[in-house]
Amino acid sequence: MQDRNLWLLVGGLLALGAALMHLAIIVGGADWYRFFGAGEQMAQMAESGSAYPAMVTGTIALILASWGCYGLSGAGAMPRLPFLRAALVVITAVFLARALFGIPAVLYFDSPYFQELGHTMTFMVVSSSICLVYSLCYLVGTCKAWPSLKKRKAL
């Protein structure tokens, strides 16, 4: 069994934690949507009983949970998942893109959501910083594990 890759282990656990946080936001309701920066429109939809905020947030939680599993798989903490190398590269790229382009997107695009976030920028700075940490865990971990992540040969 391969040695555990601490970077991917931490990245995977962080992604799973973020998935759990997104599920907690659904349970917490409108006040949690507001606190965690989802925007007033999402909070109002949650208050009115719309399923839309829960569906969006649940989808994000599912994606983050799958990314967490890929991190743990790359770390050797769970069985190898399909397309592991490609998935780790894509996950790293998405986290890094969100980290680097989240704030410029708020400043550049003219949308009500971005205008609302632009007033406080706290959410974008915090979430971009978090995504940067996640991307670094996945980047360093993937680079470190790359030789051991070669595609398995068919029997």
* 113 part of a folded domain: yes
> Of 118 and 15, which is predicted with more confidence?
15
* Number of residues assigned to the chain: 155
Is the residue at 151 inside a domain? no
Distances (CA, A) of 54 to 25, 51, 62: 9, 5, 12
Q: State pLDDT tens for residues 55-69.
A: 999 999 999 999 999
How many separate domains does the chain show? 1
Within a domain: 128? yes
pLDDT band at 112 (very low <50, low <70, confident <90, very high): low
pLDDT over 60 (residue 129): yes
Nearest to 14 by CA among 22, 3, 26: 22
**Do the domain assignments include residue 154?**
no
Q: pLDDT, tens digit, for every residue of 21-51? A: 999 999 999 999 999 888 889 999 999 999 9
Burial, 79: exposed, middle or buried (Cβ in 10 Å; 0-12, 13-18, 19+)? exposed
Model confidence at 10, pLDDT cuts 50, 70, 90, reads: very high
Q: What is the pLDDT of residue 1?
A: 39
In a domain? residue 120:
yes
Assess if residue 23 is contained within a domain. Answer: yes
d(CA 74, CA 87): 10
* pLDDT score, position 106: 76
1 domain residue, yes or no = no
How do residues 58-104 score in pLDDT, each as one tens digit? 999 999 999 999 999 999 999 999 999 999 999 999 999 999 998 88
Q: What residues make up the domain containing 122?
A: 6-146
Query: What does the pLDDT read at residue 155?
Result: 45
Q: Is pLDDT above 50 for 140?
A: yes
